[in-house]
Structure 1
Amino acid sequence: PLTLPNRAPAAHMRGMSTNATFRPGAGLIALALALPLSLAAVPLSAQDTAERPPNADIAEGAELLSEGFKKLFHGLMGELEPAGDAAEQGWNDLVDWLGDLSAYEAPERLPNGDILIRRKEPVAPGTDL
């Protein structure tokens, strides 16, 4: 996990904690986990009754469909994990490049839609960024 330094300007603007933890891809992974679990609960509720539906072919098809969805989302989880790792590395690189976020003013939006984040103290000319 990535912990933002204290005094992150964006965190103060939204009234969030300044020690927020960011996990890239966590939302996608949570979605990938939640969907198969919710689909897995459907057959359990169907098994509560002792009787099978009048058409056994439909019941068998529904079971196969449920199993297929489980396999599909299990595969998606495996594919999303490397993307989350890459996003985390990119975020870490950005935070390293920016340095201490308390050195920046709060973001401001220009009339044309651009967002500026100014440094509190200007960088000396000739400094390699």
Structure 2
Amino acid sequence: MKQFAPLVLVAALAATPLAAQDEGEGKDLMQRGMELLFEGLREEMSPALQRMRELADEYGPALGSFLEEMGPAFGRMLEEVKDWAAYHPPEILPNGDIIIRKKIEPLDPPEAQPEAVPQTDPPPQGQTDL
């Protein structure tokens, strides 16, 4: 057992320079791995980015003119409407009009409505309800 301890010490000291070399190689491997990851992402995203470029070329001029003409009115509408959840999605009518309907909420929730109070006193004798 006494001979085993010096062997372990010598092996540990001999492995120290190798560990330093492994760290350098590990960084290189990590860097290469990240490069491969980003390259793969770039290849996967390339068709989608190309399609986005095509859509921008196709709809860009129309969207630009829309923003020029409707931008101020749209901005006023955004300032006025505080809660978009209170509205239904826009509808396009057959005549081309676009409407945005407000959702109708009951004035009093059902649980807050007063219940009908049963009449406890019978009507006096001789009187009839008309």
TM-score grouping bracket, smaller chain normalisation: 0.3 to 0.5
- TM-score, normalising length from structure 1? 0.38
Higher helix share: 2
Higher-Rg structure is 2
Higher relative contact order (CA 8 A, sep 6+): 1
- The TM-score normalised by the length of structure 2 is 0.38
